[in-house]
Amino acid sequence: MPELPEVEALRGFLDENLLGKEIARMMPVAISVLKTYDPPLTALEGGEVTSVRRHGKFLDIGTAGGLHLVFHLARAGWLQWKDVLPSGMPRPGKGPLALRAALTGGDGFDLTEAGTTKRLAVHLVHDPAEVPGVARLGPDPLADDFDRDAFAALLAGERRQIKGALRDQSLIAGIGNAYSDEILHAARMSPYKLTSRLGEDEITGLYEAMRTTLTDAVERSRGLAAGRLKAEKKSGLRVHGRTGEPCPVCGDTVREVSFHDSSLQYCPRCQTGGKPLADRRLSRLLK
């Protein structure tokens, strides 16, 4: 799933390649991706792109007419930029193409989604806050005013496992499964540690790990073409998706806990005092 660093990199890419251009045609291929119907997508046609913004994991393309195309790539969605789009209308089918945006210069982008679970969501609204997922977002962890004390204040009212708290978009926007693993590894903290049991030094360490991990990932992705971002994300991860490999910090074997629709990875020596976590849902440290 694209998370804050990849979505921020896509924002930067679109800012360079889309800003100031005119939309010629919007072509929905998988109608299920459209979560709004008024105004219709055709209302974008003839409009100039005036802004590209990010809200958590959402991308927001604004036009001179005051409309915003807001989309969330979900787990298997992606944006593919094309300097020359294929001619003609794309045909609905079993392929990954969900929506095509054509510009007057002949270039444009496709929104695609792999797999059978379709969660890619596209909204056309007058205000991004009309999108429920955007309206409920917590603060951006890389915002200038999101300091250590603001982070501590968010955690003060929480009593749950820290990994779940980091992934909660209404608490902190933009962090998902992969980067929560990376942040907790950098902070040398168990994913099952309760937020209510974090000491002041642990909060400071977790905040610094979060800012550093996300900032470094954004910098690695900055300036890359959209098609190279997935590979860059994978290459930069230390523990997530690396079950069975040696931890790059201590050399211990990276372990995994599997759930019904996801998994987490961690280093026992760095994060759990050398004790493996039981590989079952809602598991606790083995004693």
pLDDT for the residue numbered 287: 39
- Phi, then psi, of 9 in degrees rounded to 5: -65, -40
Asked whether residue 28 falls in the same domain as residue 85, the answer is: yes
What's the predicted TM-score (pTM) here?
0.92
Last-in-domain residue among 84, 112, 136: 136
CA distance 251 to 220: 24
Decide if 278 is inside a domain. Answer: no
**What would you report as the CA-atom Rg of the chain, rounded to the nearest whole angstrom?**
20
DSSP state, 116? S
What pLDDT does 280 receive?
A: 61
Amino acid at 129: A
Domain total of the chain: 2
How far is it, in rounded angstroms, from Cα 123 to Cα 153? 32
User: Is 63 contained in some domain?
Assistant: yes
Question: What integer pLDDT is reported at residue 285 of this predicted model?
Answer: 43
Are residue 43 and residue 11 in the same domain, yes or no? yes
Which CATH number covers residue 72? 3.20.190.10
- 187 lies in some domain: yes
One domain, residues 127 and 163: no
| 90 belongs to a structural domain | yes
Asked if 157 and 246 sit in the same domain, the reply is yes
Residue 231: per-residue pLDDT? 78
Structural domain containing residue 92: 4-136
Low-confidence stretches of the chain (pLDDT beneath 50): 282-287
Crossing angle (nearest 10°) for helices 4-18 and 229-236: 150
Among residues 85, 110, 136, the one where a domain terminates is: 136
